[in-house]
Chains A and B, each alone.
Chain A
Amino acid sequence: EAAVTQSPRNKVAVTGGKVTLSCNQTNNHNNMYWYRQDTGHGLRLIHYSYGAGSTEKGDIPDGYKASRPSQENFSLILELATPSQTSVYFCASGEIGQGNTEVFFGKGTRLTVV
């Protein structure tokens, strides 16, 4: 099974500060994703990537940037953190195909913006 590692696991940030959430995967998947999870909303797609150098906007990209410097690493950047960005963030990696779709998640990062 693909290993997806997120860091940090917990983060407290101040309003207006910059926050970077990191994600590393070791299964050589092309696709990587960032989601946030809030009660009542499930997992909402923020940004995703098809490979090194690629970033795409998901469904709720406002206030977030993403960076994919290599196949293994995908970062989520909050340039000016706001309390509304307090949430649990999940990174995932995967391959998509009719017969072999697999998407694996990390353990999540709990971000609190005060």
Chain B
Amino acid sequence: GDSVTQKQGQVTLSEDDFLFINCTYSTTTYPTLLWYVQYPGQGPQLLLKVTTANNKGISRGFEATYDKGTTSFHLQKASVQESDSAVYFCALVGNNNAPRFGAGTKLTVKP
């Protein structure tokens, strides 16, 4: 079945540092790849999506890309701020139209 692997459990950066989070996926169909952000006490919120058609998504300074050759997708931001501290999840929509999520990356940005 469809699966997603997100190995970076925690990332600690300073303000203005570069952020890069990587996920790998497995599916037998054309995927839609999603990035969610979750703040304490809240549900996940959709941040970005990438499809095989558009290859890239951009929102709020974040950029999402994917690499079909290595079946990986990435979230990056050139200059993080303290307010970006949160948990970031990658997700795959493949077969069955049911998103599968990675384990999450907790980002802490120090001022």
Interface residues of A (CB under 8 A from B): 4, 31, 33, 35, 40-45, 48, 50, 56, 58-59, 90, 92, 94, 96, 98-99, 101-108
Contacts and interface: CB of A to CB of B under 8 A. Distances in A.
| Consensus secondary structure, chain B interface | loop
Contact of A59 (B32, B52, B100): B100
Given A45-B100, A59-B100, A108 B43 contact: yes
A42 B34 contact: no
Tier of interface size on chain B: 20 to 34
Contacts of A4: 43
A31 B44 contact: no
Interface stretch (B12-20, B60-68, B77-85, B91-99): B91-99
A107 B42 contact: yes
A48 B102 CA distance: 18
A31 B97 contact: yes
B104 A42 contact: yes
B43 A98 contact: no
Query: Considering residues B51, B96, B98, which has the most beta carbons from chain A within 10 angstroms of its beta carbon?
Result: B98
A82 B15 CA distance: 43
